[in-house]
Chains A and B, each alone.
Chain A
């Protein structure tokens, strides 16, 4: 048993914690989320590079909402999302404990939002080199090429909404997609409706996206839709100096304003 599994076992045996949300070994070398309620199952837990899913999405789910005090094993994406969810009052201080990992692999216990916020401040915020290169590739295209690129990508979308389901920030009980009076987003998955859906999803994540890229990872068609939310996240930083997932008391970039906000396109 490694440190994490021992720790998990102790926590469950102590009776103070009723559920551990973490990662277990999945198929094809991938990790998948696991929900552990019994101490003897603690040996299922793993934590390595394959654990890149953002599992903050489960924290506020109805199914585990009423479980006794929870523990979540968090990678850096999950940590940032927890901070952003805390800022939006979707998770509550003291409801759960976070097990994070230091650079040397040591387990860090984070009990309060303040501790989580402090720990998150030590993490890297921004795109990885590969992600930045993908953004640059698209931004360097001509307008026509960019349209052709996205038209092709959007035409493949089957509107399964896995991007929405996987995103910790997509927690609205009724999404605009489900509203049919008026029908904002068409039901069949044609390119026009798909484009509107992806524009809407990105806009609703403006100033809230922590650039974990989970939407793109969840997409069964492997569409690079995470780039759309990266775009709004980068713009929020550039225009409003707002980086989601850094502060537990920050206001949303689009919910506040400054009279001196500067643009150059309004006549």
Chain B
């Protein structure tokens, strides 16, 4: 489906993170002066439980090549159970995307706590490498192009 054609391809990556763990963790990455890939645009959510699957669909529809989703480790949720609910949703969603033929490697899931600044840098770097290997999301971009054409008409 996707070709690994360009060596200088830089994937556009959106990260959906929870306010209490991963966002604070990403803050720690910064204050610790750890460098990581600049491809990622971080969007802060109150909780991973708030990350609706439609938001991920919209990220792809707006040209994302890869998505990172991250929040508190199990049992560490600020709201007690948001991440447990989110985990169930992702288990179903990930398999559904696979069933319709989307490459689930374009979505990376992780737990990053507020103390894991180094892990966040690692997760982003590894994900960006993975997305770079996968190349641009051409099959999805084809759909986007068609949809723009239709909506202008």
Q: Give the docked Cα–Cα distance between A257 and B88 (Å).
A: 7
Q: Give the docked Cα–Cα distance between A149 and B150 (Å).
A: 21
Q: Give the docked Cα–Cα distance between A186 and B54 (Å).
A: 13
B81, B87, B88 pick with most chain A CB within 10 angstroms: B88
- On chain B, the number of residues with a Cβ less than 8 Å from chain A's Cβ atoms is 42
A196 to B87, Cβ gap below 8 A? no
Q: Which stretch, A29-37, A54-62, A104-112, A139-147, touches the partner chain B?
A: A139-147
B41 close to A (CB within 8 Å): no
Q: Give the docked Cα–Cα distance between A176 and B52 (Å).
A: 12
**Taking CB as reference atom, which chain A residue is nearest B150?**
A190
B35 close to A (CB within 8 Å): no
Q: Is the interface of A mostly helix, strand, loop or mixed?
A: helix
Determine how close the nearest CB of chain A comes to the CB of B82; give it in whole angstroms. Answer: 10
**Chain A residues closer than 8 Å to B150, beta-carbon distance:** 188, 190
B109 close to A (CB within 8 Å): yes
B96 to A228, Cβ gap below 8 A? yes
A261 close to B (CB within 8 Å): yes
Other-chain residue from B103, B104, B108, B146 in contact with A190 (beta carbon distance below 8 A): B146
Q: Give the docked Cα–Cα distance between A261 and B90 (Å).
A: 12
B24 close to A (CB within 8 Å): no
Q: Is the interface of B mostly helix, strand, loop or mixed?
A: helix
B101 to A257, Cβ gap below 8 A? no
A5 close to B (CB within 8 Å): no
Other-chain residue from B1, B57, B58, B75 in contact with A144 (beta carbon distance below 8 A): B1
Q: Give the docked Cα–Cα distance between A258 and B74 (Å).
A: 11
B91 to A239, Cβ gap below 8 A? yes
**Chain A residues closer than 8 Å to B88, beta-carbon distance:** 239-240, 253-254, 257, 261
B96 to A254, Cβ gap below 8 A? no
Q: Give the docked Cα–Cα distance between A143 and B81 (Å).
A: 34
Determine how close the nearest CB of chain A comes to the CB of B144; give it in whole angstroms. Answer: 6
Q: Give the docked Cα–Cα distance between A93 and B57 (Å).
A: 39
**Taking CB as reference atom, which chain A residue is nearest B1?**
A144
A149 to B151, Cβ gap below 8 A? no
A267 to B123, Cβ gap below 8 A? yes
A150 to B101, Cβ gap below 8 A? yes
**Taking CB as reference atom, which chain B residue is nearest A184?**
B54
Determine how close the nearest CB of chain A comes to the CB of B26; give it in whole angstroms. Answer: 15
Determine how close the nearest CB of chain A comes to the CB of B143; give it in whole angstroms. Answer: 4
B87 to A228, Cβ gap below 8 A? no
A193 close to B (CB within 8 Å): yes
Given contacts A176-B54, A259-B84, A261-B91, contact A148 B146 (CB under 8 A): no
* 7 shortest interchain CB distances as A-B pairs: A147-B101, A146-B101, A257-B84, A267-B110, A192-B143, A192-B147, A190-B147
Residues of B within 8 A of A (CB): 1, 53-54, 57-58, 61, 74-75, 81, 84-85, 87-104, 108-111, 123, 139-140, 143-144, 146-147, 150-151
Given contacts A141-B101, A144-B1, A202-B96, 11 further A-B contacts (CB under 8 A): A143-B103, A147-B101, A190-B151, A203-B89, A235-B92, A259-B74, A259-B84, A261-B84, A261-B91, A263-B90, A266-B109
User: Can you name 22 A-B pairs with beta carbons within 8 Å?
Assistant: A138-B99, A143-B1, A146-B101, A148-B101, A186-B151, A188-B151, A190-B150, A192-B144, A192-B147, A199-B100, A200-B57, A203-B89, A227-B99, A228-B99, A232-B96, A235-B91, A235-B96, A239-B92, A259-B84, A266-B87, A267-B108, A267-B109
